[in-house]
Amino acid sequence: MTGMLVTGGARSGKSRYALERALAQSGPRTFIATCQPWDEEMRDRVARHKAERAAQGWHTVEEQVDPAAAIAAAEPGGAVVLDCLTLWLCNLFERDAAYGQDQGAADAAGLAQAMQAYSGLAIAVTNEIGLGVVPGDAVSRRYRDTLGRMNQVLGTALDEVVLVVCGRALHL
């Protein structure tokens, strides 16, 4: 039906916007979480968000490395929200220290295909991290460059791109 990429800075309102758009759809709702909660604060945050979504009828799937498969397995005809590509890329870097732009572009293309094939609204949330200073070390620059490339692949493949800044959505 429709594939959408929602981007912006940290705490800009991206996830809220994505969830609101998905809640406007009829049918089943699947939330695909890529976060690996490494500490107590993050575990508490994940549990709180999961409970909030459950109260709104969301089914949460925790998938840290293959969100395309999770989208393909989601109940059809409703809405899927993948939150977020930034943490997904962290997980991929954790698994493969040499992961880079070419692999990221290929994985993003596979994700875009899965989103386009879904028979409802598929939304991916990402961060725009390329607006700041050039990172001071090689790994951080490779991460920034890889995420930028993944965002470009998804942004050009999907039907809609939304930039959220200060809680306001700008449709690109």
Number of domains in the chain: 1
Q: Output the CA angle 145-7-56, nearest 5 degrees.
A: 135
Q: What is the per-residue pLDDT for 55?
A: 86
For the chain, the first-to-last Cα distance in angstroms comes to 19
Give residue-wise pLDDT tens across range 97-109: 999 999 999 999 9
> Which H helix or E strand runs over 141?
helix 138-157
Task: Tell me the one-letter amino acid at 92.
Answer: L
49 is catalytic: yes
Give residue-wise pLDDT tens across range 31-90: 999 998 889 998 898 888 888 888 899 999 999 999 999 999 999 999 999 999 999 999
Among residues 31, 49, 82, 163, the one annotated as catalytic is: 49
| Stated pTM of the model | 0.94
Give residue-wise pLDDT tens across range 91-144: 999 999 999 999 999 999 999 999 999 999 999 999 999 888 899 999 999 999
In the three-class reduction of DSSP (H, G, I as helix; E, B as strand; rest coil), residue 9 is classed as: coil
The domain of 158 spans 2-171
For the domain that residue 29 is a member of, what is the CATH number? 3.40.50.300
